[in-house]
């Protein structure tokens, strides 16, 4: 894992084909606010933790991404052949032909906990798998964050406690709100307590 200078976002590039990874790396390295710290042909479960990177750039190349594989903010490069993608609160869906500027903008957006959708891909995106919110299942890390939120900790305090970045905390908080159907941190804590996820 390559260390990134202060002020830059750490990015992992995931693509099945070496030529695609090389092309993405070449485009993204033009932006001084981004640093490629990891490259691979796939994302095995548990291999990419949100504490290690600020965002993933994943070329799906017509393939489906296994549910639950990615826990960090992610930019998915997809095409109309994709029938199912992994939805979440901090993701971007771009056409595989997206420009370096578009990909970089999407990386910064998801690192801040936002979602980005390329208008041309809306029909494909409408075919996504059922979101995790429908299952109501929180990951162990999300439960850790939720307990600290319930203690009244700020994002910075949570980041220090868990040894992760502020960006990652924002991602987890957004995911928790989405999964619980809450509009605020206070409502999320209340819903979690009533459902037995937090001790009363």
Range of lowest pLDDT (104-108, 116-120, 160-164): 116-120
Domains and CATH numbers, the chain: 9-129 (3.40.50.2300), 134-194 (1.10.10.10)
Can you tell me the mean pLDDT for 124-146?
63
pLDDT value at 46 more than 50: no
- How many Cβ atoms are within 10 Å of 76's Cβ, its own excluded? 27
For the chain, report the end-to-end CA distance as a whole number of angstroms: 41
Alpha-carbon gap, residue 85 to 63, rounded angstroms:
9
Nearest to 165 by CA among 111, 115, 114, 116: 111
pLDDT value at 72 more than 90: no
pLDDT value at 128 more than 60: no
Alpha-carbon gap, residue 14 to 28, rounded angstroms:
13
Q: Which residues contact 199 (CB under 8 A, 6 or more apart)?
A: 193
**CA torsion 126→61→11→106, rounded to 10°?**
-40
The per-residue pLDDT for 49 is: 53
């Amino acid at each position: 894992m390559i260390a990134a200078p202060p002020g830059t976002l750490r990015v992992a590039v995931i693509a099945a084909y070496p030529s695609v990874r090389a092309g993405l790396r070449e485009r993204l390295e033009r932006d001084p606010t981004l640093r490629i710290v990891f490259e691979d042909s796939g994302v095995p479960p548990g291999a990419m933790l949100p504490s290690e990177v600020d965002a993933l750039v994943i070329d799906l190349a017509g393939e489906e991404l296994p549910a639950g594989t990615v826990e960090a903010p992610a930019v998915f490069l997809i095409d109309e052949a994709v029938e199912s993608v992994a939805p979440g609160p901090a993701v971007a869906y771009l056409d595989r032909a997206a420009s370096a500027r578009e990909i970089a903008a999407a990386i910064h957006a998801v690192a801040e906990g936002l979602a980005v959708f390329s208008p041309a891909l809306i029909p494909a995106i409408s075919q996504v798998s059922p979101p995790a919110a429908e299952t109501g299942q929180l990951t162990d890390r999300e439960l850790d964050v939720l307990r600290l939120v319930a203690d009244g900790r700020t994002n910075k305090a949570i980041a220090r406690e868990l040894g992760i970045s502020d960006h990652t905390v924002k991602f987890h908080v957004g995911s928790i709100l989405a999964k619980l159907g809450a509009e605020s941190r206070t409502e999320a804590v209340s819903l979690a307590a009533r459902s037995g996820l937090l001790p009363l």
